[in-house]
Structure 1
Amino acid sequence: MAISNTTTAPLSLHEDVAVRLRELIYSGELPPGAFVDEPALCERLAISRTPLREALKVLTAEGLMRHEPRRGCFVNQVTERDLDEIFPVIALLEGRCAFEAASRVNDADLRVLDGMHQRLRDCAAAGQIAAYYEANHVIHEAIIQLADNRWLAQVIADLRKILRLSRQQSLQVPGRLEQSLSEHMAVFAALQARDNCGAEAAMRTHLLRQREALRELSRQQPRSLMP
């Protein structure tokens, strides 16, 4: 499956509300542990209670919210234990994506990936952290698309939503930017060689080292995550 742009069907009202709520969560306007004030949100989003409550059910199922009987909904919190449990799983899943992508990648795909990795190198050289994160995300998405396995893609997307709750950035750790770039280039080299096992191992290493960097960041900033 070649790397390409995809279009999506129009969202229903409650799906659109769910998207807007995720944006509020990821931007920090609804921080971890925050109580969801339904009347205030209805007024802010200019919607009725019904689509809001349907959206809250969606986010609760995704793990972004939790519902407490007789109290209401709260934004979930990600703990160190959560990160310890999630990263090995997502490393396995994205590793498998890299394995499958190495079987399917063609020369045209590699040219597209080469441009993406050049962008990654440029961002790293300039020390542009935010742009590097974006370029990194684009590469991960391209590899998932190349794997062409909707079940892997779906589970990875769900886990990524949870990981974003931590609001920690591993590239804040000294030396991590250069390490991350090296890891990405190892994945790309394996894809160029159509080396399934090499691509899988390199991607797993990349994700697990990201967890190590976050653990180091947590030690430096012990209050950045809830216990």
Structure 2
Amino acid sequence: MTAIENNRPRLSELIFVTLRDQIESGTLPAGLILEAAPLARFFDLSRTPVKEALHGLLEAGLVRPTQGRGVAVGPTGTPFRQDLAAAGLRLPARTQRSFTQRHWRTRFYPQTEQEIAACLPFGRFAINVSQFAAHKGVSRTLANETLVRLERLGLIRQQGTRWYAGPLTETDIDEHYEMRWLLEPCALVQSAATLPAAVLDAALDRAIAALADPEAITLAMLDRSETDIHRTIVLHAPNRQMAEAIRRSQLPLMATNFSLKHTKAHGVMHQTLKEHFAVLEHLSHGDAEGAARALEAHLKAARQVIQTTLRVPNLNFEPPAYMIRES
């Protein structure tokens, strides 16, 4: 992370400045009650930075406590509740750009999820919360919220006051793949019923183009094909509980695939794409059951490839700066 990125305002500071400016200018009327939940929805953020911003406004004397929830704008004026947009709250374009760049749901969290998942096969790593927060340019509160969320996914665990990731064992990999080859074919059959034809046609065209010249297959082509099959199509299934269970088992395995890219020979990539094409070809002929069988066979083959690759230790793997290898 660059020095400029480390010096960017925290989300709570951006919210504070936005509210402060509109209170001082009179845009937000005296007495308007500001609460964390409505503000979080307005800014499309978690409540933590909003609460920090409200605390800052209270310390600055720009708002005052009320008898109920929230704080009221200004030192005087009868407290009242109103929709924030209707009351005049606006999000300046510059602030919106900052939120887009910093938004933890769309950038920070998914990136962290991938980083940590990619480390799992390479040992046991301790996560330093202070370094994690500094590395990402976020508060310790948000850092801890993120780690708790990752724990719920099973990517990390807490022992005492410390957080650990890995190791992802051969047994773990077997169990994740078994979960996937049991559930993904079922999800694929469900998805086939409502999958837009344009989505399937585009995925099929990409697979055909990649297979036209096996020696020209690139990792980018393979990544896109993996996304087409396992994310776009499989996770299109209407059973959201099943889709979420699949995604949880996909995450460490697909991240492992990503971190092992340099080990993939053209022969392996070509075979993987042929397996993807078999799934797509069945779907294009309206044969969802055949596609499901092809997908199960592909996942069983993929498990063997990863297990074989991971039996060769990779001591040169470098984790993110906030993680320390322990074994």
Match of 2:156 in 1: 65
Aligned length: 214
CA displacement at 1:145 relative to structure 2: 4.6
Instruction: Note the alpha carbon deviations across 1:189-208, whole angstroms, 9 max, x for none.
Output: 21012112211100111111
Quick check: 1:140 aligned with 2:224?
A: no
Bigger share in helix = 1
Maintained 8 Å contact 1:116/1:139 = no
Structure 1 segments unaligned to the other structure (5+ residues):
1-8
The letter of the residue matching 1:161 is L
Change (3 A) 1:170 1:212: farther
CA displacement at 1:95 relative to structure 2: 1.0
CA displacement at 1:98 relative to structure 2: 2.0
Quick check: 1:211 aligned with 2:310?
A: no
Alpha-carbon RMSD: 3.1
Match of 2:264 in 1: 172
Structure 2 segments unaligned to the other structure (5+ residues):
1-42, 50-103, 316-325
CA displacement at 1:209 relative to structure 2: 0.5
SS at match of 2:158: strand
Instruction: State the structure with more CA Rg.
Output: 2
Normalising to structure 1: TM-score of the pair? 0.78
Quick check: 1:97 aligned with 2:198?
A: no
The letter of the residue matching 2:300 is L
Which region of structure 1 is more displaced relative to structure 2, 134-143 or 107-116?
107-116
Instruction: Note the alpha carbon deviations across 1:105-152, whole angstroms, 9 max, x for none.
Output: 454444233333235436844131243223322332221254333222
Match of 1:34 in 2: 125
Counting only pairs closer than 5 Å after superposition, residues 105-144 of structure 1 correspond to structure 2 as 105=195, 107-121=197-211, 124-144=214-234
Change (3 A) 1:77 1:188: same
The letter of the residue matching 1:67 is Q
Normalising to structure 2: TM-score of the pair? 0.56
Match of 1:84 in 2: 174
- Distance in 2, Cα, partners of 1:75 & 1:92: 26
Higher relative CO (CA 8 A, sep ≥ 6), structure 1 or 2?
1
Match of 1:5 in 2: none
- Distance in 2, Cα, partners of 1:173 & 1:113: 23
Change (3 A) 1:25 1:203: same
The one of 124, 146, 164 equivalent to 1:74 is 164
Change (3 A) 1:80 1:123: farther
The one of 136, 147, 160 equivalent to 1:45 is 136
- Distance in 1, Cα, partners of 2:251 & 2:130: 25
User: Identity across aligned pairs (percent)?
Assistant: 24
SS at match of 2:298: helix
Maintained 8 Å contact 1:120/1:135 = no
CA displacement at 1:171 relative to structure 2: 6.9
